[in-house]
Amino acid sequence: MSNQWRRYLFWFAHEHVDFRLAELDSILNLFNIKLKTIYKPKSDPYWIVELPSECAVQKIASRSISLRFCMELWGNSKDVDILHKNLRSKAEEIIKPYFSNDKSFKIIVETFCKHFTQNEKIQKIETFSYLPFQGTVKLKNPDTTLLYIEYYGLDPNAIPEKPYELFFGRWIADGQRDLIQKLSLKTRKFIGNTSMDPQLSLLMANQAQVKRGDIVLDPFVGTGSLLVAASHFGGYTFGTDIDFLMLHGRTRPSRITQKTRGEDESVASNMEQYGKGSYYLDVVVSDFSRPMWRSDMRVDSIITDPPYGIREATERVGTLKTHPVIEEHQAATHIPSKIVYGLPQIFQDLLNFSAKHLKVDGRLVCWFPLYRDHYSEGQLPNHPCLFLIGNSEQVLSKYTSRRLLTYKKIRDPLDGDAITSSNIVDFREKYFALGDETRKERRLKRAEERARNKEDWERSNRESTER
């Protein structure tokens, strides 16, 4: 295999667009791969890059969830005649080495934002008959697969007559999109109201650079979706959560058709379902605001989705009583009372914990909810030991979104180090406060509309009487 730099096309799934760069940067850093960017549009589903070897392409594809496929780019143009002219001029140089009498091949026609019939695809394929093809056509597992792609932009309601861009080249590898279906929540044994979908879970594991042998912690583990994703890449996983009933599979089922939880529903059963039982360490019922770990405990990465207080409660052990007393005869059966665990306090604890218990160069990957109109980087929590290297937005509604933050630990904490962002907005308080305002606005609008309708009805009656 040649070690000279060659041009490649990365074709992405057109969802979670804002996550592509952070995921690819993490994968490139993980494998220490140098990449030259030739063309990287902001929204279009493809990048044109140069890489030192095909092996590097295979490594990237072996991890990426955003990537649909990679191909060695032999030609691209906005005009079909120019594309064919360029391919003719270098057919012998780049194409002939992959064709011989004993090698099979096939050509796939792909389109974006436009549909071709099978006959139209065949006609497109026949325009490449001048290439030095040898061997036999084999539709399943050929030795060489060629791709011809026509790109018609992003707006399905305004499809142009001619494509914006044309691409032709040799398929190298597919990304890991099949894992989304393999780890689907629809077929997972144990899920809850806030179980993270597999695509986002795998993206988080990639941004945390989880690799074989790593120790991975989720301190708000819930039903363990993030542990499933981390274990797929070889991480040994464990977690904590304050919800005793959730960790013991005793909460109300999340599936509409399910009346009661099964006896075997647990985080452990999820890991066994995917053949990752040997990578599962354990989960512990624990209040994150009261760390229970030894000071010298270290993990390679922390991936988590802290509760926002909307669909799941944000609680910690505590009481509002001034001088609480537990009688001796109550001690054996006492269940600690809980109080609200505000989002600012959660993130202060999370960053301080990560600064202390992550290894140097380890990563914290977590979600941070916010109101889009009020977003500024000053809202994001930060710590002198943690450097923010990834910040991707997932839009939730017209007003709200959440950002996937990736921090890298750059040093161990010193005396006096602390979280330095003091203006973190409590998402839960704002959510319900604005919700009340929205409900009042809707009531006022309905009242105004009823008044207008009444006036129109009375006017109509007066005019009818006068006539």
pLDDT at 440 exceeding the cut of 60: no
In three-state form (DSSP H/G/I as H, E/B as E, the rest C), the secondary structure along 220-263 is CCCCCHHHHHHHHCCCEEEEEECCHHHHCCCCCCCCCCCCCCCC
pLDDT computed for residue 319 by the predictor? 83
Q: Which residues of the chain are in CATH 3.40.50.150 domains?
A: 180-365
pLDDT tens digits, one per residue of 151-205? 999 999 999 999 999 999 999 999 999 999 999 999 999 999 999 999 999 999 9
Count of residues in the chain: 467
pLDDT at 334 exceeding the cut of 80: no
Short-list 78, 62, 79, 80, CA closest to 70: 62
Average pLDDT rounded to a whole number, residues 401-415: 95
CATH of 180-365, one of 3.40.50.150, 3.30.505.10, 3.30.1340.10, 3.40.50.970: 3.40.50.150
pLDDT band for position 444 (50/70/90)?
A: low
pLDDT tens digits, one per residue of 14-48? 999 999 999 999 999 999 999 999 999 889 999 99
Using CA atoms in the order 298, 303, 306, 310, what is the torsion angle rounded to 10 degrees? -160
pLDDT tens digits, one per residue of 107-154? 999 999 999 999 999 999 999 999 988 889 999 999 999 999 999 999
pLDDT band for position 423 (50/70/90)?
A: low
**DSSP 3-state helix, strand, coil percentages of the chain (rounded to 5)?**
35, 25, 40
pLDDT at 405 exceeding the cut of 90: yes
pLDDT at 100 exceeding the cut of 80: yes
pLDDT band for position 49 (50/70/90)?
A: very high
Of 79-83, 240-244, 369-373, 381-385, which gets the smallest average pLDDT? 369-373
> What value does the mean pLDDT of the chain take?
90
pLDDT tens digits, one per residue of 63-72? 999 999 999 9
Amino acid present at 99: F
pLDDT computed for residue 462 by the predictor? 62
Average pLDDT rounded to a whole number, residues 417-429: 71
pLDDT computed for residue 435 by the predictor? 62
> 6-176 — its CATH code?
3.30.2130.30
Amino acid present at 305: D
Short-list 59, 58, 52, CA closest to 71: 58
Q: Which residues of the chain are in CATH 3.30.2130.30 domains?
A: 6-176
DSSP codes joined into one string, 411-435: S---TT----------HHHHHHHHH
pTM: 0.89
